[in-house]
Homo-oligomer: A and B are copies of this chain.
Amino acid sequence: MTLASPLDQTRAVASIDPILGLTRADMDRVNALILSMAGSNVELIPEIAEHLISSGGKRLRPILTLASALAFGYRGDDHVKLAASVEFLHTATLLHDDVVDESDLRRGRKTARTIWGNQASVLVGDYLLGQAFKMMVEVGSMRALAILSNASAVIAEGEVWQLSAAKRITTTEADYMAVIGAKTAALFAAAAEVGPVIAGAGPAFEAAMRDYGLHLGLAFQLVDDVLDYGGSAGDLGKNVGDDFREGKITLPVILAHAAGTPAERDFWRCAMEEGRNDDAALAEARELMARHGALEATKARAREHGRHASEALSLLPAGPYRDALDAVVAFSIDRIR
């Protein structure tokens, strides 16, 4: 099954190249601003910031902010500042996440905490949060500040929730969707919403872009969840089974557990809660997922959110930005074709 874009009857281009092309010039300015705002006389700060910035992520969130401002004819500098703020919020979250999850690797590179320690990671994360808010204040849009500060609180709330409740194998699909809605999709939604806000495009377009970002974020996370169990040959910068070995409860696990026999549920409990997660257990997990169609069901949910994201775009004026934003959806989903 392929994704039918609601924008036309032909399938959308499944590539991030169009959006990269449209935002390239402004992303150069975002990168320069990020380097300057991550600067400090305190040498540890630029060192750690540089490490994160050169990590080779796709920078999808700031790109969304740029494109969602440009799509509504915005012609100023504030989208660059907001895009840099969005990336700082994201980077601060990664720094703190790696401390909380005790992660040693991210995208195949050592995490900051492995190199500089947990203490520096916590504090540099706080510094980047402070700098993010300073840049937002410079923009001077109270509405953009409200959207991004709310996202920041929602992300942290989702993280705490995951810490306390969502490590249990009995987590429901609804609970899981709420967690990824907070941890991942809230920032995608905010990143896309602030574009029409500073462009003065009006509430209808703000809501449309918010929906687009929200559903894109959900689709993106569900696709990642599938790929971690080898749903496709996508390159995540992590190995198949990373989530499993870390005991991360993701939707494929929840669905396989829910559909399982009592013995299978026992397997999942031992694997996720008690760390029985060697290679043999991973093979067994993939076998159970196949038996109950857990990966296929997760893919179906991802496609559904992809459709919602594309539908939200149908309100936008036709043109290269709408097409490029739609192509990001198709690209995300295509990783699990």
**A interface: dominant SS:** helix
Q: Give complex CA distance A146, B146 in Å.
A: 14
With A42-B160, A160-B42, A164-B44: A155-B130 Cβ-Cβ less than 8 Å: yes
Please give me the residue from chain B that is nearest to A100 by CB atom: B119
Contact with B along A123-160 (1 / 0, CB 8 A): 11011011101101100101001100110111111011
* A167 CB, min distance to chain B CBs, angstroms: 11
Q: Does A255 contact B (CB under 8 A)?
A: no
**B130 touching A43 by the CB < 8 A rule?**
no
Q: Does A161 contact B (CB under 8 A)?
A: yes
Q: Does A122 contact B (CB under 8 A)?
A: yes
- Please tell me which one of the listed residues B126, B131, B156 contacts residue A130 in the complex, with CB atoms under 8 A apart: B156
Q: Give complex CA distance A164, B124 in Å.
A: 12
With A129-B129, A134-B150, A152-B129: A157-B122 Cβ-Cβ less than 8 Å: no
- Residues in chain B near residue A130, CB distance under 8 A: 149-150, 152-157
- Residues in chain B near residue A124, CB distance under 8 A: 156, 160
Contact with B along A106-119 (1 / 0, CB 8 A): 00000000000011
- Residues in chain B near residue A126, CB distance under 8 A: 93, 96, 129, 152, 155-156, 159
**A43 touching B164 by the CB < 8 A rule?**
yes
For the A-B complex with A129-B152, A130-B152 known, give 13 more contacts whose Cβ atoms are closer than 8 Å. A40-B157, A43-B164, A44-B160, A44-B164, A45-B157, A96-B123, A120-B163, A123-B156, A123-B163, A127-B153, A130-B157, A133-B133, A133-B149
- Residues in chain B near residue A40, CB distance under 8 A: 157, 160
Chain copies in complex:
2
- Please tell me which one of the listed residues B120, B122, B146 contacts residue A122 in the complex, with CB atoms under 8 A apart: B122
Q: Give complex CA distance A119, B103 in Å.
A: 12
Q: Does A12 contact B (CB under 8 A)?
A: no
- Please tell me which one of the listed residues B157, B163, B165 contacts residue A119 in the complex, with CB atoms under 8 A apart: B163
* A179 CB, min distance to chain B CBs, angstroms: 10
Q: Does A99 contact B (CB under 8 A)?
A: yes
Within 8 A of B (CB), among A143-199: 145-146, 149-150, 152-157, 159-161, 163-165
Q: Give complex CA distance A100, B137 in Å.
A: 28
Contact with B along A216-251 (1 / 0, CB 8 A): 000000000000000000000000000000000000
Q: Give complex CA distance A233, B285 in Å.
A: 64
Q: Give complex CA distance A100, B126 in Å.
A: 12
Please give me the residue from chain B that is nearest to A101 by CB atom: B119
**B153 touching A42 by the CB < 8 A rule?**
no
**Taking each of A41, A136, A161, which has the highest tally of chain B beta carbons within 10 Å of its own beta carbon?**
A161
* A149 CB, min distance to chain B CBs, angstroms: 4
Q: Give complex CA distance A209, B278 in Å.
A: 61
